[in-house]
Amino acid sequence: MADNTPKASAPRLNRRQFLKLIGLSGLSAFLAQCRPFRTLSPASTVIPASPSIAATTTPVSTGLVPTAASSYKAVAAIDRLENYDPAGLKSALEHMLAGIGGLGDLVKPGAHVGIKPNLTGGPAWDSALPVPATELFVTHPALIGELVKLFYEAGAGKVTILEGLGDERNFAAWGYTSMARSVGADLIDLCKPYPYSSFQAFPVQPKPNIYDSFNLNPILNEIHVFVSVAKMKCHAIAGVTLSLKNLFGIVPTGLYKRDEADTNRSAFHDTGTFDRRIPRVIIDLNIARPIHLAVIDGILTAEGGEGPWLENLSPVHPGLLVASKDPVAADAVATALMGFDPAGESGKLPYTHGENHIALAAAAGLGTNRLEEIGIFGPSIESARFSFKPVD
């Protein structure tokens, strides 16, 4: 029988210690306490020259409600919500999805919908947290449950909740097993090929940055509608971790580590000083498995980092949800709501330790990060802004 007793003393790191660790494969020794993975063969990579990022301008929120005659490149919805009460979640999601055009253009009768939450880390930290993990650094299961219901109401034939688990206990410990059972959704750990016997290559075309393909669970190729439901957080390297960065969790960790002893996706990391690899891996992942709908959980979350392994992580209550069919626009709006510039210069907050991957995504044609090109359905960014403390 597995030992489900949380470890009594999970270490916390300051930013300097954390960055030093992820600059090398030494992070494995730290994460091994709560992220066991079996060893698989490493994937091959291709590393072209890094293009420069075009100069960006300071964003200005439109605060406008889009209409049928709007000329915006994308539409994003913002709503305020105090808690994860199911009735409130359903009402807010219905309102927001209607504001961005509904689900009719995404969900055809019998479609297979895949929903990717952010379930980073593991329950080894739970006993030391100031609030439940689902109210701090992972996507709340109640939000996913209401989304599942809405997709079934829209005509989906099957909904699968997918995540590459850092700990096999995550689904059960954080309420996903019971939630999925109650709404009729399947659960798949993307770190394993199940229900298939092996992983499948997903090409990055036409212009890969780091990887020319990713070996992923073949179920990702069956998905007709792929939904990224991220937690609104800052990140030690990426600056912010939202719907685009959430795709780190679709790859099997065992295939993307430098050393057999590593227990994280160490092959994705470059240096703790200024990382150009992680941002470009984010772009490659989003090309290989495009997102059709992005939803960002900022109701109850954390500032100061992405997980409890960073010592300055602390709970905050922004009371916000964001949604868009353009994941770059969703991340841009969420970034602005957090008090940062989604078109900001790399090397400046919050992109102090890595390139601005949201700007890279826009340059790659994945969507727009320019707030003046995004119609806002709901409260304006100015009125809803909740400034986050970045990773220091």
* Residues 288 and 303: beta-carbon distance below 8 Å: no
Q: What is the distance between the alpha carbons of residues 359 and 344, in angstroms, rounded to a whole number?
A: 8
Rounded to two decimals, the pTM is 0.85
Question: What does DSSP say about strands 112-117 and 225-231: parallel, antiparallel, or unpaired?
Answer: parallel
Q: What is the distance between the alpha carbons of residues 257 and 261, in angstroms, rounded to a whole number?
A: 9
Residue 104: is its pLDDT beyond 90? Answer: yes
3-state secondary structure of 243: coil
Single out the residue of 363, 225, 359 nearest to residue 291, CA to CA.
225
Residue range 174-185, pLDDT digits in tens: 999 999 999 999
pLDDT band for position 261 (50/70/90)?
confident
User: Looking at residue 51, what is its pLDDT?
Assistant: 30
Q: Give the DSSP H/E element, type plus range, for residue 29.
A: helix 27-31
Residue 39: is its pLDDT beyond 70? Answer: no
pLDDT band for position 285 (50/70/90)?
very high
Residue range 232-254, pLDDT digits in tens: 999 999 999 999 999 999 999 99
Name the residue type at position 182: S
User: Looking at residue 271, what is its pLDDT?
Assistant: 73
Residue 298: is its pLDDT beyond 80? Answer: yes
Minimum mean pLDDT among 31-40, 132-141, 309-318, 372-381: which range?
A: 31-40
User: Looking at residue 35, what is its pLDDT?
Assistant: 30
